[in-house]
Structure 1
Amino acid sequence: MAVSRIDLADVGSPERLVIEIFKAEPDLPIPIPVEKLAIQLGIEEIKELESDGFIGGLITNETKSRGVVLVQRRMKAERRRFTIGHELGHFLIPAHRPGKEDRFLCSMSDLLELDPKIADMRRRWEAEANRFSSLLLVPPHHFRKEANSSRDPDLGEVVRLAERYEVSKEVLGRAYVDYREEPVAFVVTHNGRVLRYFYRKGSFPFISVRWGDPVPKASLLIRKNHEQSVTSEIEETDAAQWLDVSRGHRAPTLFEQVHRQQQGYALILLSVEPSEEDDEADDSNWNRR
């Protein structure tokens, strides 16, 4: 590998860092060799994390001239890769300064933080590290074409591409929301309740179901049985169950697709028939409520 810290000097944003990395390393393969890249960029070692309540960490000095990445033991491979990318983000983004004992310690909630405009500085740093890891592991210049390779939005493609890029289905699903041309929403559920969802503001209709609410009874997830790890067919569904439809206005045509996972988790992809009036998508703007 040719990329070095010199190539990234004075680069502050996650987006710009990833651009400069790929400018120096245009032939990085998919899946991105994140551990080798971390070593190349000044990480001395990747070790097991032994602190309870945290899944990742970074030990570094004030000048960040060197660093050690910590990763929780027995973590799934795709989550391990994202965590390494996250800690590398903390290491490379100049504004991120280590806390007590010259270290960052990151919890699961830290690795789910996505709002880069949140007032709390530490949470904003976590969002920036997550943004860096997502862009590094699912690089837009590779992924955009693949996200649009199928005729219609397809949750099966999300599952397939997650395996190809060696990231979690949720990380890939968020990227799919960003780079799929048609407006889509990606929903994560657990035991019949909505955990979280992602869609492009101004492109996909407002979802009226709140985080923590039961999945609508008319949802494809509820009204049919689904085999584990098998993606369902795409079916039209009742838009009023999911979307905020104003009185006197016709609901958009809404399609739903389900992928049931282990331990009560399931993924849902919602898509609407696009209209010619749809504005150009804003890659980085996710509406979460």
Structure 2
Amino acid sequence: MSVTRMDLADCGSPEKLAIEIFKHEPSLAPAIPIEALAIQLGIAEIKTLETEGYQGGLITNEQKSKGVILVSEKMREGRRRFTIGHELAHFLIPTHRPVGSDRFLCSLEHLLASDRKAFDQRMRWEAEANRFASLILMPPHLVRKDANASREANLQHVLDLARNYKVSKETAGRGYVDYRHEPVALLITQHGRLLRSYRRQQDFPFISVNWGAEIPKATLLRRKSHPISSLSEVEETDAALWLDVSRGRRAPAVFEQVYQQQDGYALVLLTVDTDKVDEEGDDRNWNRRNTGR
């Protein structure tokens, strides 16, 4: 690699950093060699993090002339790579400076942060670091092509992205949501409850199931048994189970697919077809709103 810290000197945002890196390294392809890139950009070493309760960390000096990335040894490869990208962002973005110490220590909450307008400055930094990790591990110019390689949306594509880019299934799913041509949503669930959901707010309807809430029993996820590591068929489902459809508006047709994982986790992919109106679902939704159910 030939890219240097000097090449990135004027880059203050995750997007600009990623653009400049790929401008200087146009041959980088999946899976992006994130550890080699970190060393190339001034990280002296990547070591095991032994502090309990944290996923990753960065030790650096005031000038950020050098740094050491720390990663929990309990992580799988995909999450380890994301954490390295996250800590590299803290090292490269000039405004990210640890307060009162020589290090960042990042928890799972930090690695899930996404609100870059959060009131808390630290959480804004964490969201920026996550954005950089996503952009560098799943470059938009490559993911967009791979995410649209087939006509119909399918969770198999998410599994393929995770394997080819060596990222977690959740990270791959977020990339799929961002770059798939039609609107899709990815839901992370455990034991029948919604943990997190990802959608493009501009073109995918609002998901009415709150984070932490129980998922309706009539959904494909709940009404059928799914063997571990199995991928369900894509099935049409009642739009009112998942979406907040305004009164007086017809519900779009909603399709659901499930990938069952270990420890009660499951991925759910939702797709909508606004050209195919679910008139029965719309009637059911209207009735529920007007009967208080």
Tell me the TM-score normalized by structure 2: 0.92
Gaps of 5+ in 2: 276-293
Partner of 1:237: 237
Question: Which consecutive segments of 4 or more residues in structure 1 shift more than 6 A?
Answer: none
Contact 1:183-1:274 at 8 Å conserved across structures:
no
CA contact (8 A) 2:44 2:68 kept: yes
Matched, 1:201 2:201: yes
Displacement of 1:246 in angstroms is 2.2
Corresponding residue number in structure 1 for 2:130: 130
Does the Cα contact within 8 Å between 2:155 and 2:259 map onto a contact in 1?
yes
Structure 2 counterpart SS, 1:273: strand
Q: Deviations over 1:146-193 (max 9, x none)?
A: 111121111111011111100001011111111011111110001110
Contact (CA 8 Å) 2:253, 2:274: kept in 1 or not?
Answer: no
1:95 Cα deviation (Å)? 0.6
Residue aligning to 1:281? none
How far does the alpha carbon of each residue in 1:240-270 deviate from its partner, in whole angstroms, 9 at most, with x for none?
0111122332210000000000001000000
Instruction: Please give the secondary structure, in 2, of the residue aligned with 1:254.
Output: strand
Structure 2 letter corresponding to 1:145 = K
CA RMSD of superposed structures (Å) = 1.2
Q: In 2, Cα distance between the equivalents of 1:75 and 1:217?
A: 32
Which amino acid letter does the alignment assign opposite residue 218 of structure 1?
A: A
Rounded to whole Å, the distance in 2 between the matches of 1:214 and 1:221 is 11
Supply the AA of the counterpart residue of 2:143. F
State the one-letter code of the partner of 1:143: V
How far 1:101 sits from its partner (Å)? Answer: 2.7
Amino acid at match of 1:267: L
Report the AA paired with residue 201 of structure 2: K
Name the counterpart of 2:167. 167
Report the CA distance shift for 1:145/1:274 in structure 2 as closer, same or farther (over 3 A).
Answer: farther
By how many angstroms is 1:29 displaced?
Answer: 2.4
| TM value normalised by structure 1 | 0.93
Alpha-carbon distance between aligned partners in 1 of 2:41 and 2:107, rounded to the nearest angstrom: 24
- Map of 1:269 onto structure 2: 269
Retained in 2: the 8 A contact 1:57–1:104?
yes
Q: For 1:197, what is the secondary structure of its paired residue?
A: strand
1:63 aligns with 2:91: no
Partner Cα separation in structure 1 for residue 134 and residue 228 of structure 2: 26
SS class of match (1:64): coil
C-alpha distance 260-170 of structure 1, shift in aligned 2 (>3 A)? same
Match for residue 248 of structure 1?
248
Moved more, 261-270 or 226-235: 226-235
**Structure 1 equivalent of residue 288 of structure 2:** none
Q: Which runs of 5+ in 1 are unaligned?
A: 276-289
Displacement, 1:230? 1.5
Q: Distance in 1 between matches of 2:172 and 2:100?
A: 33
The one-letter code of the counterpart of 1:213 is A
Instruction: Specify the alignment match of 1:117 in structure 2.
Output: 117
Given that residues 254 and 270 in structure 1 are in contact (C-alpha distance below 8 angstroms), is that contact kept between their aligned partners in structure 2? Answer: yes
**1:32 aligns to 2:4 (yes or no):** no
